[in-house]
Amino acid sequence: MEFFSGNTFGATVFPSYGAFNLSYAMIYLPGSGIMTAYTDPQTSQLNDQFATALAMYLWAWFILTVIFTVAAMRSFWILFLDLVFLDLVLILLACGYM
Protein backbone atom coordinates (compact mmCIF):
# COMPACT_ATOMS: atom_id res chain seq x y z
CA MET A 1 0.00 0.00 0.00
CA GLU A 2 2.88 2.36 0.73
CA PHE A 3 4.35 1.91 -2.72
CA PHE A 4 1.11 2.80 -4.48
CA SER A 5 0.76 5.96 -2.40
CA GLY A 6 4.23 7.08 -3.51
CA ASN A 7 6.12 6.31 -0.30
CA THR A 8 8.93 4.15 -1.68
CA PHE A 9 11.03 4.58 1.47
CA GLY A 10 8.30 3.09 3.63
CA ALA A 11 7.70 0.38 1.05
CA THR A 12 11.37 -0.56 1.33
CA VAL A 13 11.97 -0.27 5.08
CA PHE A 14 8.96 -2.04 6.54
CA PRO A 15 9.10 -5.22 4.40
CA SER A 16 12.85 -5.36 5.04
CA TYR A 17 12.32 -5.65 8.78
CA GLY A 18 9.51 -8.10 8.23
CA ALA A 19 12.03 -10.25 6.38
CA PHE A 20 14.50 -9.72 9.23
CA ASN A 21 12.01 -10.95 11.81
CA LEU A 22 11.11 -13.99 9.72
CA SER A 23 14.73 -14.91 9.04
CA TYR A 24 15.80 -14.36 12.67
CA ALA A 25 12.97 -16.61 13.86
CA MET A 26 13.89 -19.22 11.25
CA ILE A 27 17.32 -19.56 12.85
CA TYR A 28 15.76 -20.79 16.10
CA LEU A 29 13.08 -23.06 14.60
CA PRO A 30 14.09 -26.70 15.06
CA GLY A 31 12.73 -27.72 11.67
CA SER A 32 15.09 -25.41 9.79
CA GLY A 33 18.17 -27.32 10.97
CA ILE A 34 20.29 -24.18 11.29
CA MET A 35 21.04 -24.61 14.98
CA THR A 36 21.53 -28.34 14.45
CA ALA A 37 24.28 -27.58 11.95
CA TYR A 38 26.14 -25.63 14.66
CA THR A 39 25.61 -28.22 17.41
CA ASP A 40 28.39 -30.53 18.53
CA PRO A 41 27.02 -34.08 18.19
CA GLN A 42 28.98 -35.39 21.18
CA THR A 43 28.04 -32.73 23.74
CA SER A 44 24.81 -31.39 22.17
CA GLN A 45 26.07 -27.85 22.81
CA LEU A 46 26.21 -25.00 20.32
CA ASN A 47 29.75 -24.32 19.18
CA ASP A 48 31.40 -20.90 18.96
CA GLN A 49 30.80 -20.65 15.23
CA PHE A 50 27.08 -20.17 15.85
CA ALA A 51 27.69 -17.04 17.92
CA THR A 52 30.11 -15.70 15.33
CA ALA A 53 27.71 -16.37 12.46
CA LEU A 54 24.82 -14.75 14.31
CA ALA A 55 26.96 -11.72 15.19
CA MET A 56 27.92 -11.30 11.52
CA TYR A 57 24.25 -11.60 10.53
CA LEU A 58 23.28 -8.90 13.04
CA TRP A 59 26.16 -6.64 11.95
CA ALA A 60 24.93 -6.86 8.35
CA TRP A 61 21.46 -5.78 9.45
CA PHE A 62 23.01 -3.01 11.55
CA ILE A 63 24.79 -1.62 8.48
CA LEU A 64 21.55 -1.69 6.48
CA THR A 65 19.73 0.01 9.36
CA VAL A 66 22.35 2.78 9.50
CA ILE A 67 21.76 3.40 5.79
CA PHE A 68 18.02 3.56 6.42
CA THR A 69 18.61 5.88 9.40
CA VAL A 70 20.64 8.32 7.31
CA ALA A 71 17.94 8.25 4.63
CA ALA A 72 15.24 8.87 7.26
CA MET A 73 16.86 12.04 8.59
CA ARG A 74 14.76 14.10 6.19
CA SER A 75 11.62 12.13 6.98
CA PHE A 76 9.39 12.11 10.04
CA TRP A 77 11.30 12.43 13.30
CA ILE A 78 9.50 9.49 14.91
CA LEU A 79 10.65 7.18 12.09
CA PHE A 80 14.16 8.52 12.52
CA LEU A 81 14.02 7.83 16.28
CA ASP A 82 12.68 4.33 15.68
CA LEU A 83 15.59 3.57 13.40
CA VAL A 84 18.11 5.07 15.83
CA PHE A 85 16.81 2.82 18.61
CA LEU A 86 16.82 -0.14 16.22
CA ASP A 87 20.48 0.67 15.47
CA LEU A 88 21.15 0.53 19.18
CA VAL A 89 19.31 -2.78 19.62
CA LEU A 90 21.11 -4.43 16.72
CA ILE A 91 24.56 -3.32 17.81
CA LEU A 92 23.94 -4.50 21.37
CA LEU A 93 22.65 -7.86 20.14
CA ALA A 94 25.64 -8.27 17.85
CA CYS A 95 28.06 -7.38 20.64
CA GLY A 96 26.32 -9.87 22.91
CA TYR A 97 27.07 -12.68 20.46
CA MET A 98 30.73 -11.72 19.95
Residue 1 has pLDDT above 70, yes or no: no
CB atoms < 10 A from the CB of 20, how many? Answer: 17
Question: So what's the pLDDT on residue 89?
Answer: 94
pLDDT, tens digit (0-9, with 9 covering 90-100), for 17-70: 999 999 999 999 988 888 889 888 888 888 889 989 999 999 999 999 999 999
Alpha-carbon separation of residue 56 from 43, 53, 90, 92 (angstroms):
25, 5, 11, 13
Domain ranges within the chain, ordered by starting residue: 8-96
pLDDT, tens digit (0-9, with 9 covering 90-100), for 85-98: 999 999 999 999 88
